[in-house]
Homo-oligomer: A and B are copies of this chain.
Amino acid sequence: MKTIEEIRSLDAADPLADFRNRFELPDGVIYLDGNSLGVMPKSAPERMAQVVKTEWGQDLIRSWNRHDWIGYPRRLGAKIAPLIGARPDEVVVADSTSINIFKALSAALQLNPDRPVILSERGNFPTNVYMMQGLSAHSAGAIEHRLVDTSELESHFDNNVAALLITQAHYKTGYLHDMQAITAAAQAKGIVVIWDLCHSAGALEIDLHACNADMAVGCGYKYLHGGPGAPAFIFVAERHQNRIMPVLSGWLGHARPFDFSDDYVPAGGIDRFKCSSPSILGMAALECGLDIHAAADMAAVRTKSVALTELFIEQVEARVGEMGFRLASPRDPAIRGSQVSFHHENGYPVMQALIARGVIGDFRDPDILRFGFTPLYTSHEDVFRAAGILQSIMESGEWREPRFSVRAAVT
């Protein structure tokens, strides 16, 4: 077993260690839930005060020009682009992940008008499959939404399939798909491939161009630290952009929105995937997170992410491996995202007991304890101490206290 001194020497040698100082880490908390809601950048309160007091409060409507509010969706898209291997003119920040999934699915159906099937895997993050279901339900039988087991995905790649909607890092297990191989195999059958990067953007090296991705969507409030309910992003490869008539054809996607004409003419390029007035408060908060990322080398982020997850697995298995914990994430770090999940039959009360001791992760039905590691602010010492607290909880049996079995509204 490693000593705390050895662990601290890992932090001392961490090339990303200074980034931790740019985030507000609450006292008494080891936060392993950045894959659900990222920690607040320390710059956020001041930036939010500025956008509220000055830009809204004093400059009011003039801020659309004076503070370039109107440019926010593209400006933030351009800041996300290098994190995902896209060009600045291929990404826009707008609406929510669910809405952007709808945009991408309906666009794929346009690109493949003679194909009736939209395909995904069972157990994908729910909003993916739910958005597929709504689109299908409103198609008068024209569109089939098909969910299959992951192992059977490729056997369904055929010329009936218009779109594959697939999540790079699985929200429960962290299992990482091979983007390059899946994209190539699906595209070989003419399928448009939509990547959901919610649980990977900002935590992994992603290269959408290297894998020739068609479209992608992602979340602003997890590894991009954009704040609760932050606006989401959508990537559309340049080769497709002008071939798509947006179904969500809102006025900010118009070529000349301030003409106020009766006829929708889509803007050229990625701008047509904007829909409505941007949430300026949400954009301002997201910008704080993205500005931190601008200085971080994504290869170093991935290296540290692997080190943290390896350390956590090693520590948990050494300390409580005999007490009913079974790894739910892939053991091979090459196919594991920036999270580690364990099965445990008492997963719910164990997680509640951890949270009561300041170690914040998630529980996911039926029996999964999920821990997220954000390389920009999670330290090796955090990981080591979290595992130690888990050991303490298991050895003392404090997780058996009745209060830890009471389900909260949101879990």
Question: Is the pair A129, B262 in contact by a Cβ cutoff of 8 Å?
Answer: yes
Question: Is the pair A410, B96 in contact by a Cβ cutoff of 8 Å?
Answer: no
Closest to A280 in B: B228
CB distance from A194 to the nearest CB of B (A): 16
Question: Is the pair A247, B138 in contact by a Cβ cutoff of 8 Å?
Answer: yes
Q: Given A275-B99, A282-B282, do A60 and B39 touch, yes or no (CB 8 Å)?
A: yes
- Could you tell me which residues of chain A, from 250 to 286, have a CB within 8 Å of some CB in chain B? 250-251, 253-254, 257-264, 275-283, 285
Q: Which residues from chain B contact A254 at a C-beta distance below 8 Å?
A: 126, 130
Total copies of the chain: 2
Q: Is A12 an interface residue (CB 8 A)?
A: no
Q: Is A327 an interface residue (CB 8 A)?
A: no
Q: Is A64 an interface residue (CB 8 A)?
A: yes
Q: Is A305 an interface residue (CB 8 A)?
A: no
Question: Is the pair A57, B26 in contact by a Cβ cutoff of 8 Å?
Answer: yes
Choose among B99, B257, B260, B281 the residue that contacts A248 (Cβ–Cβ < 8 A).
Answer: B99
Q: Is A249 an interface residue (CB 8 A)?
A: yes
Cα distance, A283 to B227, chains bound together (Å) = 13
CB distance from A288 to the nearest CB of B (A): 10
Question: Is the pair B409, A248 in contact by a Cβ cutoff of 8 Å?
Answer: no
Stretch of A30-38, A201-209, A292-300, A308-316 contacting B (4+ beta carbons < 8 Å): A30-38
Question: Is the pair A248, B102 in contact by a Cβ cutoff of 8 Å?
Answer: yes
Q: Given A45-B52, A98-B275, A248-B131, do A65 and B409 touch, yes or no (CB 8 Å)?
A: yes
Q: Which residues from chain B contact A228 at a C-beta distance below 8 Å?
A: 55-56, 63, 69, 277, 279-281
Q: How many residues of A contact B (CB 8 A)?
A: 97
Q: Is A133 an interface residue (CB 8 A)?
A: yes
Q: Which residues from chain B contact A229 at a C-beta distance below 8 Å?
A: 277-283
Q: Which residues from chain B contact A69 at a C-beta distance below 8 Å?
A: 228
Cα distance, A123 to B264, chains bound together (Å) = 12
Q: Which residues from chain B contact A130 at a C-beta distance below 8 Å?
A: 249-251, 253-254, 264
- Could you tell me which residues of chain A, from 341 to 361, have a CB within 8 Å of some CB in chain B? 355, 360
Q: Is A245 an interface residue (CB 8 A)?
A: yes
Choose among B142, B355, B411 the residue that contacts A140 (Cβ–Cβ < 8 A).
Answer: B142
Q: Given A61-B37, A409-B65, do A123 and B24 touch, yes or no (CB 8 Å)?
A: no
Q: Which residues from chain B contact A360 at a C-beta distance below 8 Å?
A: 60-62
Q: Is A147 an interface residue (CB 8 A)?
A: yes
- Could you tell me which residues of chain A, from 10 to 48, have a CB within 8 Å of some CB in chain B? 24, 26, 29, 31, 33, 36-37, 39-40, 44-45, 48
Q: Is A337 an interface residue (CB 8 A)?
A: no
Q: Which residues from chain B contact A258 at a C-beta distance below 8 Å?
A: 365, 410-411
Q: Is A134 an interface residue (CB 8 A)?
A: yes
Cα distance, A36 to B69, chains bound together (Å) = 14
Choose among B60, B138, B227 the residue that contacts A26 (Cβ–Cβ < 8 A).
Answer: B60
Question: Is the pair B250, A127 in contact by a Cβ cutoff of 8 Å?
Answer: yes
Cα distance, A124 to B262, chains bound together (Å) = 8
Q: Given A228-B56, A365-B260, do A70 and B134 touch, yes or no (CB 8 Å)?
A: no
Can you list 8 A-B pairs with a CB-CB distance of less than 8 A? A31-B60, A40-B52, A70-B409, A123-B262, A130-B254, A137-B247, A137-B249, A229-B280
